[in-house]
Amino acid sequence: MIKHIVLFKFKDPSEEIINKVITGLRELEGKVDVIRSIEVGVDVIRSERSYDVALVSDFDSLDDLQTYQVHPDHVKIADYIGTVKESTIAVDYEY
């Protein structure tokens, strides 16, 4: 299994932008059949070191993660995030 964790920090962490991102990410479940589980959460601490949104998802294999990465629905929300993000960090690991 592969755990895929991504944190997003937005240039303008407005409610509108955050809602669009979390809705778009959550809608991937059911559209991208290689996703085994997906969680999307909004930071509640809002400290200087905090990121705004976290994505945690599981895949059966690295091949499935790659399939997810190029899936048109993922590409669509990823492209939008690219226009509003300040920074992104990620980690992918086997478990």
pTM: 0.95
pLDDT band at 65 (very low <50, low <70, confident <90, very high): very high
Place of tokens 């407005």: 14
Which residue range is the domain that position 78 belongs to?
Answer: 2-94
pLDDT band at 70 (very low <50, low <70, confident <90, very high): very high
Phi, psi of 53 (to 5 degrees): -135, 140
What pLDDT is recorded for position 19?
98
- Dist. CA 36–CA 64, nearest whole Å: 10
What does the pLDDT average to over 50-54? 98
* R_g over Cα of the chain: 13
What does the pLDDT average to over 54-64? 98
- Percent of the chain at pLDDT above 90? 99
Long-range contacts of 13-19 (CB under 8 A, 24+ apart): 13/52, 17/84, 18/42, 18/52, 18/53
Answer for the pair 5, 83: CB distance below 8 angstroms, yes or no: no
- Dist. CA 4–CA 57, nearest whole Å: 5
CATH number at residue 36: 3.30.70.100
pLDDT band at 50 (very low <50, low <70, confident <90, very high): very high
Domain count, the chain: 1
